[in-house]
Amino acid sequence: MIFYKTGEEIERIKKSSLLVGKTLAEVAKIIKPGVTTLDLDKVAEEFIRDNKAIPGFLGYGGFPNTLCTSVNSAVVHGIPNEKPLFDGDIVSVDCGVLMDEFYGDSAYTFEVGEVSNEIKKLLRITKESLDLAVEQTRSGNRIGDISFAVQNHAESNGYGVVRELVGHGLGRSLHEKPEVPNYGKKGRGHKMKPGLVLAIEPMINLGKKEITQLDDGWTILTKDNLPSAHFEHDVAISRDGSPEVLSSFEEIEKVLNNKGKK
C-alpha cells in the first residue's frame, strides 16, 4: 500500500531530509586522505544526536552504524571501518535520520583528494541522472518515467545501471512502496499523484551493471571491481503536481566549494 502524505507530513519529512544534508555537510568537512570511514560515522552520529534526531540506519535490519560508506567499487551498504581513505578514492556516503516520526534519506558520492577525470565524469553523470529523474517526478507521470530518465542518461554515457537495488517511498518507514528502479520503460508502473514522497537514488557503475555482495552480509560491490557512484534525493509531489526536492546538497556543496573541490 502506498501512503500519500499531507502537507504537514511532507514538512516533517523535509526537516528530516534537510538534517541529513547538514549531516553530510559535516562529513564533507573532514573527508581527506588518511581519514577513516569510521571517523565519518562518528561525526555523523554525534551531529544527528546533537540535533535531537535518531540515526535512521543504526540497527535497521541489524546494520551496525549511522552511515553507509561505500568506497570505490562498493556500490552501497558499505560498513564504516578503520581503513584510511586514499588520495584518488571516492566514497559514497548514505545517511538516514528519524525525527518527529518521519525519515529523511539522502546520499552523496565524495572525491577524496584528487580523482581522475574518468571518475569525475561518473559522478557528474550520476548526479545529472538524479536531476533528470526529479524532473519526471510529477503528477500524471509514472514511475517508469523516472526509471527511464536515469537509465537513458547513464547508459548513453556507457555506464552500467544497477538493477537489484532501487529507490523507494519514504515516510514513517525508511522503505515504503512504491519501488523506484533506476531502469525501466516510459509510461509503465504506478501513476504518481500529489502527496507521494520518493527517495530517488541512482547507483551507476563505471563498468558493467553486475554486482556481488561481500561476505560481511551488507556491502554491495561491482562484479568487475570498477568504481560506482550513488546520489539520493527525497522528492515530494506537491499539490500543484510538480516535484519538490525535500533534501538538499546545498550545504554539502558549500563545504566542497570552500575546500576548492567543486
Give the residue with the Cβ less far from Mg ion, 131 or 224.
131
Q: How many residues bind Mg ion (CB under 5 A)?
A: 5
Region of 3-11, 176-184, 209-217, 232-240 interacting with Mg ion (CB under 5 A): 232-240
197-226 residues near Mg ion, rule: CB under 5 A: 199
Q: How far is the CB of 174 from Mg ion (least distance, A)?
A: 7
Give the residue with the Cβ less far from Mg ion, 224 or 251.
251
Q: Cα separations (Å) of 7 from 3, 196, 197, 237?
A: 13, 11, 11, 10
Among 9, 41, 94, 111, which residue interacts with Mg ion (rule: CB under 5 A)? 94
Site string for Mg ion, 24-63 (x = CB under 5 A): ----------------------------------------
The residue written with cell numbers 575546500 in the block is 259
Helix (H, G, I), strand (E, B) or coil at 74: strand
Are residues 168 and 76 in contact, defined by beta-carbon separation less than 8 angstroms? no
Give the residue with the Cβ less far from Mg ion, 26 or 94.
94
Site string for Mg ion, 102-121 (x = CB under 5 A): ---x-x--------------
**Strand ranges for 58-200 from DSSP E:** 67-71, 74-76, 90-99, 102-111, 160-161, 167-169, 176-180, 197-200
Residue 176 engages Mg ion in binding (rule: CB under 5 A) = no
Q: How far is the C-alpha of 226 from the C-alpha of 205, rounded, in Å?
A: 7
Q: How far is the C-alpha of 49 from the C-alpha of 97, rounded, in Å?
A: 10
Give the residue with the Cβ less far from Mg ion, 45 or 232.
232
**CA torsion angle 50 251 108 93 (round to 10):** -20
Binding interface with Mg ion (CB under 5 A): 94, 105, 107, 199, 232
